[in-house]
Structure 1
């Protein structure tokens, strides 16, 4: 039977030489002692060749540069996809921020905030001339700003706490 080299086999079946070497390393394809592959073995693994041609034609070997260029183009495409995904995410998050800002009302410009207030200097602070009057005004129901704290009308007193055994031996009460 006819024996073919790896280069001739790759040309005949129009497959990469590395694929053939991978099949040999995995044990799918076997070599003869003269490092050639039997044609019957190639038909068993790869099937009938697509086109009949002379296997002695020169084979164009891929240059390493073309493989690198192909790899770089794939990486460029992958990076372009990642950038477009990132832009879509950014637009989505920007839209979410705008929605949240519309939901949260910003402070009015005429309102004073804590940072807008002027600090009080200790020398300029007002002193209360009658501290006894200030204590008399504060009865526990008002805050220092003289705002009334609402007190509930009726509060039921809590029942006295009972011990563990009294829950079983004393009547409910």
Structure 2
């Protein structure tokens, strides 16, 4: 006949191992010489083991119609849409950057820069220094001709800046 260990017997009958040991100690249940319990002895004490559910029964796995799966699929679709939108934005901005770079690289024939040292003679004759003290006349708006600021001829030289120690040891003068 079949022999079972205490652990196998406790799993088969779904009882605590301590209960089996207590029954052995009391003499209700006996062990073989190899410390195993005969199955017929277990049936005599505990009766027929209750049938567990067969493993072959279909176990319900999340079906595609379950709420969680549907929610996850919706989130995946939403994330795919967001990724597509981000790719579209990236390509649009990349095109904008390329366009701006091409415009910056293209030289403009009719524009002169401040680094040009020579001015055409016609422009030099037209530019005349304007001395204006009226605030109303110069309202801050950009005009075609640049305004010049008059520099006074007699400027007093600034006094010599004195360092920390010279303030103590040099006389004022």
TM-score, normalization by structure 2? 0.30
Flag the structure with more relative contact order, 1 or 2, with Cα contacts below 8 A and sequence separation at least 6.
1
TM-score, normalization by structure 1? 0.30
- Which has more radius of gyration? 2
